[in-house]
């Protein structure tokens, strides 16, 4: 394994060199399938990240502010169930924004963000580490598969895996079970998990959250096409796609699609792919949970649930569990 580099007195950086996927082949295969799909990762470039930030600030989109309020209100109660000497590990840390409240309130002995975007990780940790000189920052550039295989140090401080947001809802049930089992491995035999899960609720509330009046979610959905045009020169006409987001009650998930308003032909990986008018490209799922149901999934993954916190409206939940 590569050796960590010391960048600041309390910051080391370990680059596991995440394997690069062949984006062109991946996109060609997913778009030429009988039911075309795109991986949600293609939402995210600089513009996509800015659009998602705008979504989180809309009146309709409740998850981000609700979770932040729950963390602020219950951080001390959470800490009371955890050991004093703690390292927070955050897979998919991005800009390390949500962990700041825990760093302020808990002052753990260490923080280990794991993130595939090397520059994003470096920028965030170089900015954060000087603010918390007593916290050891161990930044790891890795994809999810590498992050979830990262060994836990069972001789050192307990490791708390922090997985905020409603990101767990983006996984299909089988993949979600595998991912939660991976979080258990990352936590180690003496570790803990703190995770956010969006809750089932009135479909009208859910539909509004993914169809905001300002059109930010629609622009975010179409941004996958803009991103792929720039990256792979696919030839999409993004304005010819309609944003479709709706709650699928039988599957208990929000689905996001892009629907062609007219026939299109795109080119990717030396393939010409026909997208007739009416074709829907499935771009994302967001599963919704109950507290009891999600707790059972944690048990199946090898955790023992300790506590959960839900806002007064019953919109969102945060779960604390320990390794069973």
Residue-level pLDDT, tens digit, the chain, 324 residues: 689 999 999 999 999 999 888 999 999 999 999 999 999 999 999 999 999 999 999 999 999 999 999 999 999 999 999 999 999 999 999 999 999 999 999 999 999 999 999 999 999 999 999 999 999 999 999 999 999 999 987 778 999 999 999 999 999 999 999 999 999 999 999 999 999 999 999 999 999 999 999 999 999 999 999 999 999 999 999 999 999 999 999 999 999 999 999 999 999 999 999 999 999 999 999 999 999 999 999 999 999 999 999 999 999 999 999 999
> How far is residue 197 CA from its own chain's centroid?
11
The whole-angstrom separation of Cα 103 and Cα 204 is 36
Q: How buried is 249 (Cβ within 10 angstroms: 0-12 exposed, 13-18 middle, 19+ buried)?
A: exposed
The whole-angstrom separation of Cα 237 and Cα 226 is 8
Beta bridge partners of 317: 197, 310
CB of 252 closer than 8 Å to CB of 197: no
Please report the pLDDT score of residue 1 as a whole number: 64
Q: Kindly report the CA angle at 162 between 158 and 165, in degrees rounded to 5?
A: 170
Kind and range of the H or E element at 151?
Answer: none
Kind and range of the H or E element at 128?
Answer: helix 118-128
Beta bridge partners of 87: 110, 159
The whole-angstrom separation of Cα 171 and Cα 167 is 8
CB of 140 closer than 8 Å to CB of 14: yes
Q: Kindly write down the DSSP assignment for every residue of 10-36, as one continuous string.
A: TEEEEE--PPPP-HHHHHHHHHSSSS-
Strands annotated E in 53-109: 86-91
Three-state secondary structure call for residue 311: coil
Please report the pLDDT score of residue 152 as a whole number: 86
CB of 195 closer than 8 Å to CB of 67: no
């Amino acid at each position: 394994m590569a050796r960590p580099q010391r960048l600041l007195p309390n910051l080391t950086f370990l680059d596991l060199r995440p394997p690069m996927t062949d984006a062109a082949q991946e996109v060609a295969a997913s778009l030429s399938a009988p039911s075309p799909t795109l991986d949600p990762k293609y939402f995210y470039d600089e513009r996509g990240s800015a659009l998602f930030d705008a979504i989180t600030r809309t009146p309709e989109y409740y998850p981000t502010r609700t979770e932040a309020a729950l963390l602020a209100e219950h951080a001390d109660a959470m800490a009371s169930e955890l050991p004093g000497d703690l390292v927070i590990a955050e897979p998919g840390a991005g800009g390390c924004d949500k962990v700041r409240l825990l760093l302020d309130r808990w002052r753990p002995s260490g923080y280990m963000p794991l993130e595939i975007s090397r520059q994003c990780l470096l920028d965030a940790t170089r900015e954060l580490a000087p603010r918390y000189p007593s916290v050891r920052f161990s930044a790891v550039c890795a994809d999810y598969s590498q992050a979830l295989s990262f060994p836990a140090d069972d001789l050192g401080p307990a490791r708390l895996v922090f997985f905020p947001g409603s990101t767990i809802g983006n996984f299909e049930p089988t993949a979600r079970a595998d991912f939660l089992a991976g979080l258990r491995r990352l936590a180690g035999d003496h570790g803990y998990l703190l995770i956010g899960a969006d809750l089932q609720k009135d479909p009208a509330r859910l539909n509004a959250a993914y169809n905001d009046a300002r059109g930010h979610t629609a622009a975010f959905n179409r941004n996958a096409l803009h991103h792929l045009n720039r990256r792979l020169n696919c030839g999409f006409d993004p304005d010819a796609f309609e944003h479709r987001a709706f709650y699928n009650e039988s599957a208990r998930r929000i689905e996001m699609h892009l629907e062609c308003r007219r026939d299109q032909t795109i080119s990717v990986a030396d393939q010409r792919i026909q997208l007739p008018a009416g074709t829907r490209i499935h771009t994302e799922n967001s599963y919704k949970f109950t507290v009891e149901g999600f707790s059972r999934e944690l048990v199946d993954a090898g955790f023992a649930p300790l506590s959960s916190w839900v806002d007064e409206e019953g919109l969102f939940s945060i779960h604390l569990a320990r390794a069973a």
